[in-house]
Amino acid sequence: MTAPPATDVIDKRARSLVPWLLVAGPTLALLVFFVLPNAILLSAGFLKSEGQTLTGQLTFENYAFFFGRPTYVAALLRTFFIALSVGVLVVVLGFPLAYFLTRTRSRWKGLLIALSLSPLLASVVVRTYGWFIIFNRFGALNDFLLYTGFIKERLAFMPSTGAIIVGLTHSLLPYGVLTIMAAVQSLNPQLELAAMSLGASRTRTFLRVTLPLCLPGIAGGFILAFSISLSAYATPAILGGPSTQTIATLLYTFMIAILDWSVGSMLGTILIVTSGLMVYLATKLGAKRSAL
């Protein structure tokens, strides 16, 4: 064998550089505007700060300060409770809708899908505003219950954890529907027919065939709703109050009102770690399949 002509070698080397040239710019942009800011945030939680300026001193004071106060720990637990409830509700409401939307033969199918996903077009502020009109002291729900005589005096539906859960479930339902629809779509209806033709009852078919085969989609919807709820700010800010603080609203208070950026960063770190865990879980369950 003779060595390949020199030009070929150069060409090959040049070609192996092509992917690097393509991705170099974008990678740099991501490193500067995504990785670096997050690295600063992660380290800021462990640094002492004088108001907005960080000093180089290493400290765990921020963590001790936060976990030493029952109100803050309660806010942390409340955040997890909200995220868990929202995740469950999104899946429970999302599954029947997703199942119906993929299997229906109605000629309105396209419109129905568009309608059920339409809230995604609106900012979460817009989606939560409607719940304020319903839940507030002089709102539609109180008016209705007074009018029909169910209650004698106005009730405080908000600020409350329940109102936050309802608002977030409403905001995140389209994500659940989208994720579960993908799973129902990949489920062959013939499998369900086969199970029934072999004598399985409808309930048994649903529990033993349909549900298990849709599980990755359901898990994906749950994890998506859970992790977005963890760090949702607008909904708890509108439908909650001082007695229903969550990590995100505390974070806002520390960053903007108290101007203690290192405690704010520490709260950000808690959010990064928990959502990182959720993403890890999601990939383990195979729920999130990337397009790449």
Partner 1 sequence: MINGVRRGSNAAPWFALKVVNTVIFIFILGPILITAAASFNEANQSKFPPRGFSLKWWADAFSDDWVDPVLFSFRLAICAALVSTIVALPLTFGLTRYRFKGRDALITLALGPLMLPALVISIGLLQFFYLIGLGDYVGFWALLAGHFVICLPFSVRTIAISLYGLPANVEKAAASLGASPVTVLFKVVFPLIKNGILAGAVFSFIHSFSDVNVSLFISRPGQMPVSVKILGFLEFGFAPTLAAVAILTMIIPLVLIIAIERFGGLGDFIYGERARG
Contacts to partner 1 from residues 143-202, by CB under 8 A: 170, 173-174, 178, 182, 185-186, 189-190, 193, 202
Distance CA 278, CA 86 (A): 15
121 is a site residue for partner 1 (CB under 8 A): yes
The minimum distance between CB 151 and partner 1, in angstroms, equals 18
Query: What's the per-residue H, E or C state across 80-107?
Result: HHHHHHHHHHHHHHHHHHHHHHHHCCCC
248, 232 in Cβ contact below 8 A?
Answer: yes
Of 2 and 203, which CB lies nearer to partner 1 in the complex structure?
Answer: 203
SS3 199: coil
From residue 57 to residue 96, the character string flagging contacts with partner 1 as x (rule: CB under 8 A) and all else as - is ------------------------------------x--x
Residue with tokens 């921020």: 62
Structure tokens at 154: 């106005």
SS3 50: strand
Task: Number of helices (H) and strands (E) in the chain: give both, helices first.
Answer: 14, 2
Among 124, 165, 218, 219, binds partner 1 (CB under 8 A): 124
259 is a site residue for partner 1 (CB under 8 A): no
Cβ neighbours of residue 195 closer than 8 Å, sequence gap 6 or more: 204, 205, 208, 209
286 is a site residue for partner 1 (CB under 8 A): no
Length of the chain: 292
- Stretches 2-10, 58-66, 152-160, 269-277: which one binds partner 1 (CB under 8 A)? 269-277
Among 9, 14, 51, 52, binds partner 1 (CB under 8 A): 52
From residue 219 to residue 238, the character string flagging contacts with partner 1 as x (rule: CB under 8 A) and all else as - is --------xx-xxxxx--xx
Among 80, 109, 129, 215, binds partner 1 (CB under 8 A): 129
35 is a site residue for partner 1 (CB under 8 A): yes
Beta pairing class for 53-58 and 47-50: antiparallel
23 is a site residue for partner 1 (CB under 8 A): yes
Residue with tokens 């868990």: 84
Cβ neighbours of residue 241 closer than 8 Å, sequence gap 6 or more: 158, 159
14 is a site residue for partner 1 (CB under 8 A): no
- Stretches 15-23, 57-65, 75-83, 154-162: which one binds partner 1 (CB under 8 A)? 15-23
Number of residues that bind partner 1 (CB under 8 A): 89
Among 1, 2, 13, 26, binds partner 1 (CB under 8 A): 26
The minimum distance between CB 2 and partner 1, in angstroms, equals 26
Distance CA 6, CA 153 (A): 91
